[in-house]
Amino acid sequence: MNQHIRVLVVDDSAYIRKVVREMLERSPDIEVVGIARDGVEALDQCERLHPDVVTSDLIMPGIDGIEFIRRQMAKQPVPIVIVSIAAESSERVLSGLDAGAIDFVQKPTALATDKVFDVAEDLLAKVIAAARAPLARIPLTFPDGPLPAALAFQNRYSVIVIGVSTGGPQGLKAIVPRLPRDFPLPVAIVLHMPIGYTEAYARRLDEISAVQVMEARDGEAVRPGVVLIAPAGRHLTFRRNADGTITTQLDVRPLDTPHRPSIDVLFQSAADVYGERVLGVVMTGMGVDGREGAAWIKARGGVVLTESEETCVVYGMPRSVVEAGLSDEAIPLDRLAATIVERV
C-alpha cells in the first residue's frame, strides 16, 4: 500500500490494547496512532486523530462499544472493526454491526499471549479491508418493507443461492426483508461468520422479514419462501431423495475449504441437484469463495449475479467471479432485491 493505515485501538483492558497494537504493527502498512479506554475517549480521539480505521471492544465502562459506534457513525463515519471476546453475547456483536461496524474479530477468552496472537492474521486482513472500504458503501439505512408480489411467476428457477462475507450482515438486510411474503422459491445463504452467530443473526433477520428466515437444520425439506442460513462451522448442501423431495444436508466435510460453510460447496451442490434452475448471487466479501461455485452453476446452465463494485464493502469475491467471466449481471445492492424478484 502507498501509505500507512492509521488505526485507533479502543479497549478498556491495557493488556488487550498492548496485544492488539503489537498484532497490528506486525504489518508495515499499519500504524497505531492512538489508544482509548472507553467510548468517551474514543469519540474524542476520533475527532482529534481522524484515524483510517478503529478497532473497538464492546464491553466498556460508561459509553460502551455499541453506543460509541452509533455516535461516531452519526457524527463522522469511520470504518470500525469490532474486536470482541468470544464469550460476549452474539446479540451484542450483531447490535454493533447494526450500529455501523464493518466487521468483527473474536479475541479468545483465554488471555494467554499465544492464543491471542492466533487471531492476528484475521485482524490484519480485516483492518486492511476496512481501510479500503469507501464509507458510502457501509449500508446503514435499508428500504422499508417487502417489495410488491410479482404479478407472474416465470418458473425459470427452482432455488436461489447467495454467498456473502465482509459487509454481509448489513448487506443481507437490504435483500431478505425486501422479498415478498409469497416469494415462490427457497433461498439458501452462506454468510461467513464465527460459530455461535448465525442462529442469532437468522433470528434477527426473520424478525424484520416477510418471508421465514431460519438457521438451516440437517435433513429438512427445502420449502418455497423459506430462507435458510448455513450454520457456522458446517457446509450446507442439498440432496434429492428417491421420492423427488429435496432436503438439506449439513456436514463438516470437505475439511480443506478456507471457509466452513463454503459458498463454493453450496453453489456446487445447488448446480448438481437443481441443474440449470439455479440463480446464484455473489455479494461483498474478501477472497474468492464463490468463484468455483459460480463456474459450476454456469456449467449447468444457471445464472449468476454479482453485487457491483460501487456498493461492496469489499469488492473481492464478486470481482473474482466477474474477472473469471462468470457474472451475468453486476447490480448495486439497492437494486439487488428488486432484480431477484423481477427475474423470478
Please write the tens of the pLDDT for every residue from 149-162: 766 778 899 999 99
The verdict on whether 165 is a catalytic residue reads: yes
Give residue 155's pLDDT: 82
Give residue 149's pLDDT: 73
Render the burial of 152-169: b for 16+ CB within 10 Å, e for the rest.
Answer: eeeeebbbbbbbbbbbbb
**Which residue carries 455516535 as its cell?**
71
Cα dihedral across residues 320, 325, 331, 332: positive or negative: positive
Three cell numbers written together for 155: 418458473
Q: 303 phi and psi, to 5 degrees?
A: -120, 140
Give the model's confidence band at 122: pLDDT under 50 very low, under 70 low, under 90 confident, else very high.
confident
CA torsion 83-84-90-93 (nearest 10°) is: -40
| Given the residues 11, 103, 264, 289, the one annotated as active site | 289
User: Quick one: which of 35, 87, 93, 90 has its CA closest to 64?
Assistant: 93
Q: How far apart are CA 189 and CA 175, in angstroms?
A: 12
Give residue 109's pLDDT: 59
Provide the 3-class DSSP secondary structure of residue 137: helix
SS3 of the chain: helix, strand, coil, percent, to 5: 35, 20, 40
For the residues 230-257, what does the mean pLDDT come to? 93
CA torsion 216-218-219-222 (nearest 10°) is: 10
| Given the residues 52, 57, 84, 192, the one annotated as active site | 192
The verdict on whether 12 is a catalytic residue reads: no
Flag whether pLDDT at 303 surpasses 80. yes
Give residue 1's pLDDT: 44
**Domain architecture of the chain: domains with CATH:** 5-132 (3.40.50.2300), 159-343 (3.40.50.180)
Tens digits of residue pLDDT in 179-215: 999 999 999 999 998 888 899 999 999 999 999 999 9
The verdict on whether 259 is a catalytic residue reads: no
**What's the order of all strands across the beta sheet hosting 303-307?**
212-215, 226-229, 187-191, 159-164, 278-282, 303-307, 329-331
Flag whether pLDDT at 115 surpasses 70. no
- 275's CB contacts (< 8 A; 6+ apart) are 300, 301, 302
Three cell numbers written together for 2: 502507498
| Given the residues 165, 209, 269, 327, the one annotated as active site | 165
Strands (E), 72-157: 80-85, 103-107
Three cell numbers written together for 293: 461455485
DSSP run (H or E) holding 46: helix 39-49
**In Å, what is the CA distance from 103 to each residue of 53, 97, 126, 155, 272?**
11, 7, 7, 37, 32
The rounded percent of the chain whose pLDDT value lies above 70 is 92
Please state whether 239 falls in left (phi above 0), alpha (psi between -120 and 50) or beta.
beta
Average pLDDT, the chain: 90
User: Do 265 and 146 meet the contact criterion of CB atoms below 8 Å apart?
Assistant: no
Flag whether pLDDT at 2 surpasses 60. no
Flag whether pLDDT at 112 surpasses 60. no
Flag whether pLDDT at 140 surpasses 70. no
For the residues 294-312, what does the mean pLDDT come to? 96
**Which residues is 249 bridged to in the sheet?**
237
Three cell numbers written together for 224: 418455497
Cβ count near 139 (within 10 Å): 17
> Using alpha carbons only, what angle is made at residue 126 by residues 122 and 132, rounded to the nearest 5 degrees?
155
Q: How far apart are CA 329 and CA 326, in angstroms?
A: 9
Q: How far apart are CA 280 and CA 318, in angstroms?
A: 12
